[in-house]
């Protein structure tokens, strides 16, 4: 009996076949890698859980070349249209559970009990939201503590919210919330690191205030979030801010647990790659937010995916 399955875009997936290139991750890095690998004539498969990856947690994108202002879901749809037009095979709604290499072949285990085989692999599984690590965070998760403005922001229409963080994701989240919330307070333990244009747009919102040199030390509330306790470094004093919700936007923890015994990682758990996106294991490439690249941008992740696919083709040919 043939070990076949139809992919999410109606392409046949043969679990007994040896693929030239498998991209793990359905974000910009994995999708663009699939596009470039397919164009190079490689037998290609892109695998992951949800189309768009972390891009799906964003509302608007303003810095992707060719799309000055575009809804994130629309951009994901454009990616999907391009992938489908070229006939790239996608396997969605699966979780990668193990990666191993046997001689020159990679074996990828999935949570559906199946295994995939490939000559080369791109690892682009992004990360998970980084936590503040303060009292009340785990207990009130989903009860006013959120890591996704796109998912939970609409529940706070007309309410008061706090955003923790000072990078691009935090500022973008605050701008999104400012359109629907009564007030938005951005709390950052140091200084704002986001793009100046984004910060300027945020500060032009009349219902937004920013507290710098201020650290959240506790999340308050019994059944739901009612406030946050902060330490004001300038005044060297603690204060309590009442809030209906807290959105934590302080970056991601790289999803690299599957690689711990396979490739070299840095102290933060990020994959160390060279200028060709190669890891320390031959044939295994990495791209996007799980690498040591310090610039967490959609267009950079997509570019790294393209580079990895081209280098994978060279690896196979050589």
Q: What is the CATH number of the domain that holds 191?
A: 3.50.50.60
**Shared-domain flag, residues 160 and 144:** yes
Question: Into how many domains does the chain fold?
Answer: 2
3-state secondary structure of 42: coil
**Shared-domain flag, residues 26 and 91:** yes
Phi first, then psi, for residue 294 (nearest 5°) are: -85, -10
What domain range includes position 154? 131-248
**Shared-domain flag, residues 204 and 268:** no
Contact 14, 3 (CB under 8 A): yes
The one catalytic residue in 16, 20, 138, 151 is: 151
16 is catalytic: no
Phi first, then psi, for residue 223 (nearest 5°) are: -85, -30
**Shared-domain flag, residues 242 and 273:** no
**Shared-domain flag, residues 135 and 115:** no
Nearest-angstrom CA–CA distance, 184 and 175 = 9
Nearest-angstrom CA–CA distance, 309 and 120 = 9
pLDDT in tens, 207-250: 999 999 999 999 999 999 999 999 999 889 999 999 999 999 99
Phi first, then psi, for residue 180 (nearest 5°) are: -125, -25
The one catalytic residue in 84, 103, 138, 148 is: 148
Nearest-angstrom CA–CA distance, 314 and 318 = 6
244 is catalytic: no
pLDDT in tens, 79-111: 999 999 999 999 999 999 999 999 999 999 999
pLDDT in tens, 4-29: 565 555 667 889 999 999 999 999 99
The one catalytic residue in 152, 160, 195, 232 is: 152
**Shared-domain flag, residues 111 and 258:** yes
The whole-model pTM stands at 0.80
Domain boundary among 231, 248, 265: 248
200 is catalytic: no
């Amino acid at each position: 009996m043939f070990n076949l399955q139809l992919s999410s875009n109606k392409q046949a997936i043969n679990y007994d076949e040896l693929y030239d290139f498998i991209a793990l991750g359905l974000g910009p890095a994995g999708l663009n890698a699939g596009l470039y690998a397919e164009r190079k004539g490689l037998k290609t498969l892109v695998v992951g859980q949800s189309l768009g990856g972390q891009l799906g947690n964003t509302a608007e994108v303003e810095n992707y070349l060719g799309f000055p202002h575009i809804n994130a879901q629309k951009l994901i749809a454009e990616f999907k249209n391009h992938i489908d037009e070229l006939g790239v095979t996608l396997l969605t709604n699966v979780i990668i559970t193990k990666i191993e290499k046997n001689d020159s072949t990679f074996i990828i285990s999935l949570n559906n009990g199946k295994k995939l085989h490939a000559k080369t692999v791109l690892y682009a599984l992004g990360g998970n939201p980084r936590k503040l690590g303060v009292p009340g965070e785990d207990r009130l998760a989903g009860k006013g503590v959120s890591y996704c403005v796109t998912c939970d922001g609409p529940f706070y229409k007309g309410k008061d919210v706090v955003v923790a963080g000072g990078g691009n994701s935090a500022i973008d989240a605050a701008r999104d919330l400012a359109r629907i919330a009564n007030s938005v307070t951005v709390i950052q333990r140091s200084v704002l690191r986001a793009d100046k244009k984004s910060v300027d747009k945020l500060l032009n919102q009349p219902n937004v205030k920013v507290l710098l040199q201020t650290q959240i030390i506790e999340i308050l509330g019994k059944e739901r979030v009612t406030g946050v306790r902060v330490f004001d470094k300038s005044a060297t004093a603690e204060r309590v801010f009442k809030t209906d919700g807290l959105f934590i936007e302080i970056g991601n923890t790289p999803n690299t647990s599957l690689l711990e015994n396979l490739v070299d990682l840095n102290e933060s758990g990020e994959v160390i790659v060279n200028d060709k996106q190669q890891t320390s294991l031959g044939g295994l490439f990495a791209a996007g937010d799980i690498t040591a690249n310090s610039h967490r941008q959609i267009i950079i992740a997509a570019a790294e995916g393209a580079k990895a696919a081209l280098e994978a083709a060279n690896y196979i040919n050589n």
